[in-house]
Structure 1
Amino acid sequence: MAKWRRALAALIIGGISASICTVIWGILLLFSGIEPIQISFQGALISGMLTGALSEFRKLGEEKSIFISIVLGSLIFLVTNYFSPWNINLEKNPLAAGLGTLLVIISTVWSTRKALSGIELESFDRDEIEKFTIRIFQGMGLLFFIIIVAFPFVYMVITSLKSQMALLTNPTDLSISFESGLAGLMKSYQEVWTTFNFQRYIWISTVVSVGTVGITLSLSILGAYSVTRLRFPGRIWLSRSILIIYMFPAIVLVIPLYSIFSQLQLRNSLIGLFIVYPATTLPVALYMLKGFFSTLPAELEEAGRIDGCSRLGVIWRITLPLSLPAISSV
């Protein structure tokens, strides 16, 4: 009885998943400029239900079952749509039709197996019904957010493969023209690397970011440890005034920094960046590490001192290994 219930649940999940994915891919095709689009809910529902049922046939093994369900599901999807899914001829536009078919079927198989994993549906009581329903909504929500997050990146990549004239003509067109060949598609990247010397900017950004992180961590670790563990005059005031710099908007410091850096001839130089960036990141790093260091047991450091470690040795061998989560977040 449980097998029949799982099969029925797989039919329902598969049909819903395939229908939703078909609509989503159809909307993306509309944005890509492919018209007219026609969504066959009947074909999506039938193929989704059969694909969901096939994904539960696990006698051949896990991997073989997934592969067979994807292959047969794709074939069923094409047959039920008369080999023209979304009213797109498979021969004329295999990328849009074929890729969409694979995405719909793979999403259907994944959502079906994910929703039914760990649920036997033997008694079909309230607990199993709630778990089953929650997984369906979780899958739908996950799919929705994946599309929202992935779409800007997909749009960015597609627009980078277009010419400036094509972008100005129709910015929402997500289709890619292969008429000019690979050289035409990569023309923008070639211009960036050759004409605008983009590799130099990447190298400078890498040096500045790595150097800023190194300076910030070096100073913030020592500073936060000093404020937390050492006793010296003004320690409490210093620990409370770490974030005072953030009381002033960054725009207020632009003119003074420009004037000072001009007099010191540090404008348009890496040294100037290595001064400004750590100055803006140090307060937050000090504040975060100070809070974490205060939670570490002081007895561990005292034991290290008894065993012969110096203060820096204690920081290197005891404090830093225990503080890796906080350091990585900085």
Structure 2
Amino acid sequence: MKFLRYGYITGPVIGALWMIVAGFTIAVAMSFATGQAFRPNLLLSLVWGALLWPATMRAAGIAGPALAALLLVGATLIGVGPLIVGAGTSTVTAVICGLLLAAGTIWPVRLMLQDMPPGALTRHIFEHAVIRFLTGTGYVIFTAIVAIPFYVMVMTSLKNQQQLVQNPLDFSIDLSRGLDLFSSYVELFAQFNFGSYLWTSTYVSVLTVLITLLFSVPGAYAVARLRFSGRTAFSRSILLIYMVPMIVLALPIYIAFSMLGLRNTIFGIIVIYPVTTIPVALYMLQGYFRGLPAEVEEAGLMDGLTRLRVIWKITLPLSLPALASVSLYVFMIAWNEFLLAFMLLDDPSKFTLTRGVAMLNSSEIPRQHLMAGAVIATVPIMVLFLGLEKFMTRGLTAGAVKG
């Protein structure tokens, strides 16, 4: 490894490897976005990537990166760049591809190899360059894994049947259609009763959160604060229900609900969902409650408060981050649950959103409607998660550290 600890070796190696990563990523992105054929050239990617280091050095100032960007755009246009543009691709598209390639390689390589001298490197500089490269590669791969399926889902939902039949692998968007792009979404609400499914999933999930908190808060507090026979065994066995796969419990639940007349009812769904969420909520909250200072609660008891009032006025206000994270987590479980809804609901007027999306998976229903339904089921929970992520992270971290 010692021979790698020289700038004139490490710089070109990292530049070449990053060009391959960026080239594959941009080729995939351009292919999906335009419907044209883009593919990376491995050999030319290595050559161009190795040449990036001298162009991106701090000593090169602005002139080096600017010249490298122009050369990459020009090489892409004439077909000798890291990316090979398919026949029939317009000049504008090829220029955009070259600019994206320049932006996705020159600036990142400049950050990875900043302050790297040509000669011998210290261990600190070498390791930092390698860590930056591995971190950047990880971000790119993770983003591609997450973004590509979602992009395909959204773009497919904006197609019409004729476009899907003509070219099912073209995921570009035809802006000339105007508002007709959203015809699949309009038809879902007008013809497939998706407004009802959305409302059913919303209030079922909210009720699941409320019922879960109603049982898990006192249960977790009792495990964390009170002393009773079997306390330790109960604390350690809370998550035992998750050791049994839900598919194993599906048949007994189906039989029991059929005998009780709860199958094909929203009430039955509201009854069974908290059964799957209360154990994990108990487990998360007991760790947080153990971390709260007991002296504060004891002071409230000495002032004449009852145990219930201590919980209401002292413990719960201090536990808001944990309650927010548990509520969000439980809401996500209830919103995305499919197996129980699929097994217990047969009446389309009572379907949850996931059950409604599954109904669209039929050869008689156009594929764009299925993708539109998947988008409708995904976007609300994604927005909710991103908006409340800080509360969830804070609650989970506090419970893990203090528990």
Normalised to the residue count of structure 2, the TM-score between the two structures is: 0.62
8 Å Cα contact 1:243-1:283 kept in structure 2: yes
Describe the shift of the 1:150–1:228 C-alpha distance in structure 2 as closer, same or farther (beyond 3 A).
same
Correspondent of 1:216 among 205, 212, 219? 212
Matched position secondary structure for 2:77 = coil
Matched position secondary structure for 1:294 = helix
| Alpha-carbon separation, structure 2, partners of 1:316 and 1:52 | 65
Correspondent of 1:53 among 52, 55, 62? 55
| Alpha-carbon separation, structure 2, partners of 1:310 and 1:148 | 53
Long gaps (5+) in structure 1: 60-64
Q: For residues 271-286 of structure 1, what are the structure 2 equivalents within 5 Å? A: 271-286=267-282
- Could you tell me how far 1:243 is from its partner in structure 2? 4.4
| Alpha-carbon separation, structure 2, partners of 1:50 and 1:241 | 57
Residue number in structure 1 paired with 2:157: 160
Describe the shift of the 1:105–1:194 C-alpha distance in structure 2 as closer, same or farther (beyond 3 A).
farther
Matched position secondary structure for 2:36 = coil
Q: For residues 3-152 of structure 1, what are the structure 2 equivalents within 5 Å? A: 13-14=14-15, 16-27=17-28, 34-35=36-37, 39=41, 42=44, 46=48, 49=51, 53=55, 56=58, 74-82=69-77, 86-87=84-85, 92=90, 94=92, 97=94, 99-116=96-113, 121=117, 124-152=121-149
> For each residue in 1:239-286, what CA deviation from the matched residue of structure 2 results, as whole angstroms up to 9, or x when unmatched?
565445556633121220232134xxx7433x3332221122112212
Provide the aligned length of Structure 1 versus Structure 2. Answer: 312
Correspondent of 1:305 among 294, 301, 308? 301
| Alpha-carbon separation, structure 2, partners of 1:93 and 1:206 | 48
- Could you tell me how far 1:47 is from its partner in structure 2? 8.6
Larger Rg: 1
Matched position secondary structure for 2:199 = helix
Normalised to the residue count of structure 1, the TM-score between the two structures is: 0.73
Residue number in structure 2 paired with 1:62: none
What amino acid is the match of 2:302?
I
8 Å Cα contact 1:52-1:109 kept in structure 2: no
Long gaps (5+) in structure 2: 1-5, 330-403
Instruction: Considering Cα pairs closer than 8 Å and 6+ residues apart, tell me whether 1 or 2 has the greater RCO.
Output: 2
What amino acid is the match of 1:314?
V
Greater mean deviation of Cα atoms: 212-221 or 160-169? 160-169
8 Å Cα contact 2:15-2:53 kept in structure 1: yes
- Could you tell me how far 1:35 is from its partner in structure 2? 4.1
- Could you tell me how far 1:302 is from its partner in structure 2? 1.0
Describe the shift of the 1:47–1:132 C-alpha distance in structure 2 as closer, same or farther (beyond 3 A).
closer
